Chain A
Amino acid sequence: MTTTVWLASYPKSGNTWFRLFMARLLHPDQHSSDLNSLPLYTPIASSRRLFDDMLGVPSAFLTAGEIAALRPDADAAFNEAGDEPRQLRKAHDAYTYLPDGRPLLSQAPNFAAIYILRDPWDVAVSFASHFNCTLDEAVRRLRDSHLSIARNPRELNRQLEQRLLSWEGHVLSWLSAPLPLHVMRFEEMKRAPLRTFRAAVRFLGLDHDDRAIEAALAACRIERLQQMETETRFNEAPQAADRFFRRGEIGEGVTRLSEEQLRPLLDMYRRVERAISENAAQRG
C-alpha cells in the first residue's frame, strides 16, 4: 500500500519551493523551464477534480459538510490507486477532525506528513501580496481561528474549502496529528539548506547523496524561479498578483509590520515555540 506524505503548511510558508525541489531531486534529467510542467504530480488535498474522480460523485452537488465527510474516502481511494511506495501531496488544510471523530486528512499507518513552518510575520507580508490585501488584513486573517480559503458560495472554486484556523492553530493542529511528522523551518531551509533538505529527504526514505541534493537546490534558487516565472506565468500565482515568487527573505515582516501588527504574531509565535519544546521534551 502506498503511503501518502502530506507536504503541509500554512499558505506562503515555502511549500511550493519544497515541491519544486522534490521534482528536481526525483527527476533530475527532466528539465523544464515551465513551472507549470514539472515532472512531479503532488495533487493538493483539496483538489476538487481528484475528489470527483476518485469517488465518482460530483462535489459541486454536495454541501461543504458532505464533502468533508467524504474527503478521507477520496484520499484512501487515491492511496489505493498509487503504485509507488510513497506519494507526495500538498496540503494547506489545518489538521482537523470531522464530527464523527475521524481526522479529515487521515492518519498513520498509510499517511505521514512533512510540515513546513515559517515565522508568522514573514507569512503575513507574503500573504498580503498573494491575496492582494493590506498588512492589517493579513495579520487579522492569520489571527482568525475561523479562517477558510476557497470558500465562495456564489461560484464554484477549483478547490474544495480548506479550514486554516489561525496561524497558531494551524501549526499546533499538525504538531499533534496522529501520524509520522517531520517539521521543517523555512528559516533553516534558507540558512542551512543542505542539512535541512537532507533531513526531509531521509524522512521520506530516500537515499540521495549530498551532490544530488545540492544540485536540486541549485536548480530551485529563488532567483532562478523568479526568472522562470518571467518567461511563463506560474498557474499558482493569483490573478491579483503579478507573480508568485517574491523575495523569499527572512525577517522582512519585522521591518515592514508595525509594532501593533507584530505583537499578536509574536504572541502566537511564542506559544507555538513553547508547544514545540514541550512536544520535544515529551518525545525525548
Chain B
Amino acid sequence: MPFAHRYCGLTIHSAFPLPELRNLANPGIADVTVRPAAVPDHLPNPARRLATYEIAGDQALLRLPGIAHYHVTRGGTRITVESAPRVDPAAVRLFLLHPVFALAALLRGDYLLNAAAVAVAGKAVAFVGHSATGKSSLAAMLGRGGFPVVSDSLLRITETSQGTFEAHPQAPWLLLWPDMVERLGFSETCCDARSGLALKRVEQPVADAPIPLGRIALLHAQKARNPNRFKPTVQASSLGFDALHLYDAGRSWLRYIPALRLTHFRMAAKIAAVTPIEQLDLPWELSRHKEMVASLRNWVGEAPDSRLQRSMDGDVNEVD
C-alpha cells in the first residue's frame, strides 16, 4: 500500500491518498488497510439489514447512495471502498474517516466515543453530546484559547496495563460550520469538507501520542436566555456508564453484534468508575463566545498550554 497514515492512534495503510491525515514516515504494521474495489450488494445471513448498512458477524456493509459503498471485513482490519461514479473524492473520504472507521473500530474491538476533546495540563477533557450540541465548536474555542485539540468527533480510548485510560489523538483538524469558522478567524485556513456542503475542515495542531483521559463532560448546549447569567452549569452526573453508552461511536450497530456488547459495556463501566463525568449545561450565544471561552476556562480549571498560547484579549481575527 503506497500511503500510510496515523488516525485515532491506529496505523492505516491505504491504496489511495488520504490527504486529511498525517503521513507516517515509518509505517510499520497496518492496523487497518483501505483499498478501492467492487463491494458486494449484500452480506450473507446478516444480523441486521437496513438501506444504509448490514451487519454479519465480523463484517459489515455501509451504503451511501451517490457517494460510496464500504465493505468492512476481517474483523474491522480491512475496508474496501467502491465509489459512486463522478463522486467528490472528499465526500468518500469524509464518510470513510467517520462512520466507516467507527464501524471498523467496533469490529476490531476498539472503544470510541463520539467526542471532541482538548488537552488540559496533559490530560484529555472530552465533550460528548448528540449532534448539534457544539462539541467541535467548544474544542475550537478552547483550541484558540491555548488548549491543544485531541479530537473532533471520534475519541479512541484504550486501557493501559496499569488500569488507567488513555485518549488517542484523532487527526489534525476540526470540522466547523461557517458561523464558527468566521467567529474564530479560521476563514483563511479552512477548506470544504466535501462539495455541496457548507461544513469546513480547519487545520489544528494535534499531539502525536496518547494522553491520559482526565474527565468527560456531557454537553447540553442551551441558548443563553439570561444574558446576565452566563456561566456553565455543572452537575455531577448520576448516569455515568449509561451516559457513555449513549455516546459510544458504535451504538447504532452494537446491538446487532452480541459478541462485542459485553466488552463494550465493561469498558464503559470501567471508564465511568474512574473518570469524572459531569453534565455541562452551557449557555450558547455565539456573539459572546469570548465569555463562553472564559467560562469554560474557569470550568476547566487549568492554564492553557503555554506552547500554544493564543491571546484572547484582542479581536480574535487578529490572532495568528
| Residues in chain A within 8 A of chain B (CB atoms) | 48-49, 52-63, 66, 69-70, 73, 77, 153-158, 233, 239
Knowing A154-B179, A154-B198, A239-B225, the reply to whether A57 touches B131 (Cβ < 8 A) is no
Q: Is B190 an interface residue (CB 8 A)?
A: no
Q: Which residues of A contact B253 (CB under 8 A)?
A: 56
Q: Is B89 an interface residue (CB 8 A)?
A: no
Q: Which residues of A contact B64 (CB under 8 A)?
A: 57, 66
Q: Is B103 an interface residue (CB 8 A)?
A: yes
Q: Which residues of A contact B27 (CB under 8 A)?
A: none
Please determine whether B51 and A73 come into contact, CB atoms closer than 8 angstroms. yes
Contact with A along B163-199 (1 / 0, CB 8 A): 0000000000001011110000000000001101111
Q: Is B25 an interface residue (CB 8 A)?
A: no
Please determine whether A56 and B178 come into contact, CB atoms closer than 8 angstroms. no
Please determine whether A59 and B177 come into contact, CB atoms closer than 8 angstroms. no
A-B contact number at CB 8 A: 83
C-alpha gap A55/B51 in the complex (Å): 8
A110: min CB distance to chain B, Å: 15
Partner of A157, one of B66, B132, B199: B132
| Residues in chain B within 8 A of chain A (CB atoms) | 50-53, 62, 64-67, 91, 94-95, 98-99, 103, 130-133, 153, 175, 177-180, 193-194, 196-199, 223-225, 251-253
C-alpha gap A205/B108 in the complex (Å): 46
Q: Which residues of B contact A63 (CB under 8 A)?
A: 196-197
B107: min CB distance to chain A, Å: 13
Partner of B131, one of A54, A55, A58, A154: A58
Q: Which residues of B contact A70 (CB under 8 A)?
A: 51-52, 65
Please determine whether A48 and B62 come into contact, CB atoms closer than 8 angstroms. no
B278: min CB distance to chain A, Å: 20
Please determine whether B50 and A55 come into contact, CB atoms closer than 8 angstroms. yes
Partner of B95, one of A61, A156, A158: A61
Max chain B CB contacts within 10 Å: which of A55, A61, A154? A61
Knowing A60-B199, A156-B131, the reply to whether A54 touches B178 (Cβ < 8 A) is no
Please determine whether A155 and B177 come into contact, CB atoms closer than 8 angstroms. yes
Given pairs A55-B53, A157-B132, A239-B225, 19 additional interface contacts (CB within 8 A):
A48-B131, A49-B130, A52-B131, A53-B252, A56-B99, A56-B253, A57-B52, A57-B62, A57-B99, A58-B99, A60-B131, A60-B175, A69-B65, A73-B52, A77-B50, A153-B178, A153-B198, A155-B178, A156-B131
Please determine whether B131 and A49 come into contact, CB atoms closer than 8 angstroms. yes
Please determine whether A48 and B178 come into contact, CB atoms closer than 8 angstroms. no
Please determine whether A61 and B98 come into contact, CB atoms closer than 8 angstroms. yes
C-alpha gap A85/B94 in the complex (Å): 38
Closest residue of chain A to B98 (Cβ to Cβ) is: A58
C-alpha gap A54/B66 in the complex (Å): 20
Q: Which residues of B contact A49 (CB under 8 A)?
A: 130-131
Please determine whether A54 and B132 come into contact, CB atoms closer than 8 angstroms. no
A and B contact pairs by CB, cutoff 8 A, 19 listed: A52-B131, A52-B252, A53-B252, A54-B50, A55-B51, A55-B52, A56-B103, A56-B253, A57-B62, A58-B98, A60-B132, A61-B94, A61-B193, A63-B196, A153-B178, A154-B177, A155-B180, A156-B131, A239-B225
Please determine whether B197 and A61 come into contact, CB atoms closer than 8 angstroms. yes
Q: Which residues of B contact A155 (CB under 8 A)?
A: 177-180
Closest residue of chain B to A80 (Cβ to Cβ) is: B50
Knowing A70-B52, A77-B50, A155-B180, the reply to whether A59 touches B194 (Cβ < 8 A) is no
Please determine whether B194 and A61 come into contact, CB atoms closer than 8 angstroms. yes
Please determine whether B177 and A156 come into contact, CB atoms closer than 8 angstroms. yes
C-alpha gap A5/B164 in the complex (Å): 48
C-alpha gap A118/B217 in the complex (Å): 42
B311: min CB distance to chain A, Å: 26
Q: Which residues of A contact B53 (CB under 8 A)?
A: 55-56
Please determine whether A57 and B95 come into contact, CB atoms closer than 8 angstroms. yes
Max chain A CB contacts within 10 Å: which of B52, B91, B98? B52
C-alpha gap A62/B193 in the complex (Å): 11
Q: Which residues of A contact B153 (CB under 8 A)?
A: 58
A17: min CB distance to chain B, Å: 23
Closest residue of chain B to A153 (Cβ to Cβ) is: B198
Please determine whether B132 and A158 come into contact, CB atoms closer than 8 angstroms. yes
C-alpha gap A54/B52 in the complex (Å): 10
Closest residue of chain B to A48 (Cβ to Cβ) is: B131
Please determine whether B252 and A54 come into contact, CB atoms closer than 8 angstroms. yes
C-alpha gap A97/B215 in the complex (Å): 46
A43: min CB distance to chain B, Å: 12
Please determine whether B178 and A154 come into contact, CB atoms closer than 8 angstroms. yes
Knowing A56-B99, A58-B98, A61-B197, the reply to whether A66 touches B66 (Cβ < 8 A) is yes
Closest residue of chain A to B195 (Cβ to Cβ) is: A63
Closest residue of chain A to B131 (Cβ to Cβ) is: A48
Max chain A CB contacts within 10 Å: which of B95, B193, B194, B197? B197
C-alpha gap A158/B177 in the complex (Å): 13
Partner of B251, one of A53, A57, A58, A239: A53
C-alpha gap A73/B48 in the complex (Å): 14
Q: Which residues of B contact A239 (CB under 8 A)?
A: 223-225
C-alpha gap A61/B175 in the complex (Å): 10
B154: min CB distance to chain A, Å: 11
A239: min CB distance to chain B, Å: 4
Closest residue of chain B to A53 (Cβ to Cβ) is: B252
B262: min CB distance to chain A, Å: 20
Q: Which residues of A contact B133 (CB under 8 A)?
A: 158
Closest residue of chain A to B102 (Cβ to Cβ) is: A56
The 8 residue pairs across chains A and B that have the minimum distance between CB atoms = A56-B252, A73-B51, A239-B223, A156-B132, A153-B198, A158-B132, A154-B178, A55-B52
